[in-house]
């Protein structure tokens, strides 16, 4: 089933065309990579798909529905969630609370006890919610840090927390924005495994990344942007052998 369809998506900032007539589709259970040199328009594309920016032209369809002008929180309710490039976290909250806040929008809010709730119901719901949060934290390897302030986490764990937060909203389509930036090789291996694991859980994923090895390993389809235009789309094999892509971006890099 086609999960996401992007038609003629264009964004102009005054005289600068950041994204120019981009079309592609994402099918359920895909792992779709989005690559391109810096400034190619990848984050702008993400911003438009996830509702943070209004497109100048073009439309976005999610599960057949026209969602072009919806706000980000509405898209999240539908199952379309994004992560952020820079460490965008609730810095003054603990790791646990970060994930809790993300989870709360579809829980019945028993964690902050409403004035007239029955204590037993409250307690049971609270346990359920805590369990769910701990499961998410456990999956991302954040369990030992659950009471640590987000701002005190090392970089790799902050990125992991970002993904934990996004996955706490029960996404169907997850837009990852450079999840591997600033990680050492060991962290890259761990994170790549985790992202694969998310896909196995049934989540469809799009990944913007610069780490070519990881992209080629992870993704089954790749879209290449350059100067706002889509210059290629296909399997990793096809992309690696695409002359235009190599010219624009990959240069002389050795690919596996």
Q: Enumerate binding residues for another protein (CB under 8 A).
A: 50, 52, 71-73, 76-77, 81-84, 88-93, 97, 101-102, 104-106, 109, 111-112, 114, 165-166, 168-169
Residue among 225, 194, 168 at smallest CA distance from 46: 225
Q: CB of residue 235 vs another protein: minimum separation in angstroms?
A: 30
The secondary structure of residue 246, as a DSSP letter, is I
Please say which residue, 109 or 238, places its beta carbon nearer to another protein: 109
Please say which residue, 101 or 121, places its beta carbon nearer to another protein: 101
Residue among 23, 33, 28, 38 at smallest CA distance from 2: 28
- Tokens encoding 232: 């290629």
Q: CB of residue 133 vs another protein: minimum separation in angstroms?
A: 13
Q: CB of residue 80 vs another protein: minimum separation in angstroms?
A: 10
Report H helices in 104-203: 119-139, 155-167, 185-200
**Helix/strand/coil for 120:** helix
Q: CB of residue 163 vs another protein: minimum separation in angstroms?
A: 12
Please say which residue, 29 or 78, places its beta carbon nearer to another protein: 78
Please say which residue, 164 or 222, places its beta carbon nearer to another protein: 164
């Amino acid at each position: 089933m086609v999960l996401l369809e992007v038609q003629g998506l264009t964004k102009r900032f005054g005289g600068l065309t950041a994204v120019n007539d981009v079309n592609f589709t994402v099918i359920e259970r895909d792992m779709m990579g989005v690559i391109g040199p810096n400034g190619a328009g990848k984050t702008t594309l993400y911003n438009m798909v996830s509702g943070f920016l209004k497109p100048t032209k073009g439309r976005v369809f999610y599960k057949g529905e026209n969602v072009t002008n919806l706000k980000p929180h509405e898209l999240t309710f539908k199952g379309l969630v994004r992560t952020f490039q820079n460490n965008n976290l609730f810095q003054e909250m603990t790791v646990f609370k970060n994930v809790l806040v993300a989870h709360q929008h579809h829980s019945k809010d028993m964690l902050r006890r409403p004035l007239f709730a029955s204590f037993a119901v409250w307690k049971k719901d609270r346990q359920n919610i805590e369990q769910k949060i701990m499961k998410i934290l456990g999956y991302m390897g954040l369990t030992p840090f659950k009471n640590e302030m987000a701002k005190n986490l090392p970089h790799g764990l902050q990125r992991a927390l970002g993904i934990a937060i996004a996955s706490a909203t029960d996404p169907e389509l997850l837009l990852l924005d450079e999840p591997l930036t600033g990680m050492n090789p060991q962290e890259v291996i761990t994170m790549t495994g985790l992202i694969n694991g998310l896909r196995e859980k049934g989540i469809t994923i799009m990944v913007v990344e610069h780490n070519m090895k990881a992209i080629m390993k992870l993704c089954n389809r790749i879209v290449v942007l350059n100067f706002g235009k889509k210059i290629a789309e296909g399997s990793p094999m096809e992309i690696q052998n695409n002359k235009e892509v190599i010219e624009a971006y990959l240069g002389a890099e050795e690919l596996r």
